[in-house]
Amino acid sequence: MSLEVKIMEQMKEAMKAKNEPVLRGLRAIKAEIIKAKTEPGANGAISEEGETKLLQRMVKQRRDSLDIYTQQGRPDLAQKEQEEIAVIEQYLPAQLDEASLRAELQAIIAEVGAASPADMGKVMGAATKKLAGRADGKAISAAVKDLLSK
């Protein structure tokens, strides 16, 4: 079942339950899917990989907004962003925890033969491809820096 079909079914349930926060998040996902499907070259379809990237981008945007709202003392808007993040993350693959991420990165470092912080570019290239959708880019970058500086 495609993401779009899942979203539509969840939207119907959220409407019946009058669950506004969930409905708001689902509508945002649906809007992004429609936008992605109508872009030039998309041919009216999105791959699973494209769906994952789209959802990750949405979570990143909302986290950035959440930080801004928190800094500016707007708990009402921050709460809305937090609710939408929770809804969107349900459709993303499970994220790696810190220990699993470090283990994966150590294997990648050994694979590419990186030895110093100067090799960070090689490691990041391989890591972002291998860990796409399972770890945040900032977390990967911080862990790679830490591992290569030892």
Q: What's the pLDDT tens digit per position in 87-146?
A: 999 998 888 888 888 888 888 888 888 888 888 888 888 888 888 778 878 888 888 888
The first and second tokens of residue 36, run together, are 């992605």
Same domain for 10 and 71?
Answer: yes
Looking at 89, 116, 136, which one is the last position of a domain?
A: 89
Q: Are residues 67 and 137 in the same domain?
A: no
Q: Please choose, from the candidates 105, 100, 99, 115, the residue with its C-alpha nearest in 3D space to the C-alpha of residue 148.
A: 115
Residue 111 in tokens: 């694979």
User: CA–CA separation, 91 vs 46, rounded Å?
Assistant: 15
- Domain of 115 in residue numbering reads as 98-148
pTM: 0.76
Alpha helices in 90-119 (DSSP H): 98-112
